[in-house]
């Protein structure tokens, strides 16, 4: 059965939800679910009223199928936000369509940058060469933040083992007192992911077999050699480690976060 057509993004701001402050809810949720499994955290995130209106953000990258499958088992109608930067590998676009159909996801929303902003800031598609942070902000961060306006919380696939900026990741994060980030796979290892894929017979991203354990935009992603950090191929030979906007002590920070 083919999934329903991709729906337009609902960017209606959350209002009148009656939820307590984000910081209080994050502390309570982490205390309540600290020792639960990833599947339990996913289930509770979808049903706990303290989480609020929830979406799942997916890059349809190397490990995305685990989180997408785990969510689809619980509720295949969950909104899935997929950011098409228009610089992705062709394999990623094909994989997105394959997983959408395979998992019978009914509410995949393709998010793109404002074409007027792209024409003004990156008319030749070369911004990533001189200012990768600005390119990520234009094509990924700003479109995602706009799409998330209608949500109290969003599910990510971030994990502690992915790098020093994620080493202390909790299941629930406070995103600048605006909304909650839910990280069901925070404590998982690469072995856990491989086992889950094998046990559930899930298809791998085609670029993984070609040496891409972490996959972003085509111009800024290179293969990783044996023994290198899995994210070494992202923005290679730069200090950049993350693509989006992060909140530190309630303040917006563009670009990578220094290790504490």
| Catalytic residue positions, numbered | 243
Cα gap 44→227, rounded to integer Å: 36
Which neighbouring-strand residues pair with 212? Answer: none
Q: Give the position of tokens 């998982």.
A: 188
Residue with tokens 């856990």: 192
Task: Classify 80 as helix, strand or coil.
Answer: strand
Find tokens 């909104």 and name the residue.
79
Phi-psi region of 237 (alpha: psi -120 to 50; beta: other; left: phi over 0): left
User: For the chain, where are the E strands, in sequence order?
Assistant: 54-58, 80-83, 108-111, 153-155, 172-175, 179-182, 245-248, 251-254
Residue 225: partners with Cβ closer than 8 Å, 6 or more residues away: 211, 232
Considering only CA atoms, which of 190, 193, 242, 197 is closest in space to residue 216?
242
DSSP 214: S
> How big is the CA angle at 132 (ends 164 and 155), to the nearest 5 degrees?
50
Which among 111, 167, 161 is positioned nearest to 141, based on CA atoms?
111
């Amino acid at each position: 059965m083919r999934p329903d057509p991709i729906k337009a993004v609902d960017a209606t701001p959350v209002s009148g939800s009656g939820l307590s402050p984000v910081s209080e809810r994050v502390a309570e949720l982490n205390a309540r679910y600290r020792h639960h499994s990833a599947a339990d955290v996913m289930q509770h995130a979808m049903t706990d009223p303290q989480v609020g209106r929830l979406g799942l953000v997916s890059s349809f990258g190397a490990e995305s199928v685990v989180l997408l499958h785990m969510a689809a088992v619980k509720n295949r109608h969950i909104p899935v936000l997929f950011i098409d930067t228009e610089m992705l590998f062709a394999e990623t676009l094909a994989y997105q369509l394959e997983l959408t159909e395979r998992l019978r996801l009914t509410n995949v929303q393709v998010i793109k940058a404002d074409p007027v902003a792209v024409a003004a800031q990156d008319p030749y598609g070369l911004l990533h060469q001189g200012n990768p942070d600005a390119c990520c902000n234009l094509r990924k961060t700003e479109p995602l933040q706009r799409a998330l306006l209608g949500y109290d919380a969003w599910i990510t696939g971030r994990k502690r083992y992915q790098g020093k900026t994620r080493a202390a990741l909790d299941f629930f994060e406070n995103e600048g007192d605006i909304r909650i980030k839910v990280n069901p796979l925070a404590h998982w290892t690469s072995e856990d992911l491989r086992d889950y894929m094998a046990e559930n017979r899930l298809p791998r991203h085609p670029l993984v077999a070609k040496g891409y354990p972490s996959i972003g935009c085509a111009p800024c992603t290179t293969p990783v050699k044996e023994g290198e950090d899995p994210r070494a191929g992202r923005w290679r030979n730069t200090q950049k480690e993350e693509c989006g906007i992060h909140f530190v002590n309630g303040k917006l920070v563009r670009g990578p976060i220094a290790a504490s």
